[in-house]
Amino acid sequence: MEDLAGRVAFVTGGASGIGLALAEGFAKEGARIVLADIEAEALEKAEGDLLASGAEVIGVQCDVSDRGSVMAAADAAIEAFGKVHILCNNAGVAPADAIDETTPEDWKWCLGVNLMGVVHGIQALVPRIKEQGEGGHVVNTASIAGLIALPTVGIYTATKYAVVGISETLRGELAPAGIGVSVVCPSFVKTRLHEGHRNRPAELGSGPEEPNEFMAQMLANATEPAVIAERVIRGIKRGDFYILPHADMKLGFEARANEILAAFDLD
């Protein structure tokens, strides 16, 4: 998909961080944008800022862990623009704790957003993209934690490994329809990921009272979201499957891959 002008991009987690940077990048390419986000106030501001810049955009409040909410957002996108060509499953949360100290509510929340949010996005929009017969592209935001396991974020790591696996499967399933797939695996990016508990449903408990300090420090000095968005948009145009913006993580993945390869030769 070399030319994004006139295309319609649907972005979850679109009111901040990587999602908002993607929306801004799509706008520069002449695409129309559907911002889907659970935070009403942030969504309204993001939509207003994009409109002021001349972008064609609508904001739709959406809880990606709720299948009905995602289906309704997809309906709103079709009603506004008639079609959707690019789906960016980007919304995510990152509860931090040792696995044996996590709660069932922690798992339900993180899996609901990070894993089922991707599934819901695919089920809501991929059939419509297929029906259009114009090709398209699905971008799933995973993480370097989907390739290299990280301590104290076991739930997050599990969901991101799952997103990588879903993306690898989806690539083969959608290729005959001319729909590309990319999986994005960034390292630390300057977002509010460490404050995700602000959107945690009340019925799943409050979670930690304070943001994870280690995550806060790492994210404060991390890559700007616009850098990731630029890489993603370039990847969509080139048809890249793996989008790995942080070359400094290569050695960590290489060590894991070598250990796995060596295990095949063990008696």
Return the active site residues: 156
Domains of the chain with bracketed CATH: 8-263 (3.40.50.720)
Query: What is the reported pTM?
Result: 0.92
**How far apart are alpha carbons 54 and 64 in whole angstroms?**
27
How confident is the prediction along the chain (267 residues), in pLDDT tens digits per residue? Answer: 889 999 999 999 999 999 999 999 999 999 999 999 999 999 999 999 999 999 999 999 999 999 999 999 999 999 999 999 999 999 999 888 899 999 999 999 999 999 999 999 999 999 999 999 999 999 999 999 999 998 888 999 999 999 999 999 999 999 999 999 999 999 888 776 656 566 666 676 665 555 556 666 666 678 999 999 999 999 999 999 999 999 999 999 999 999 999 999 887
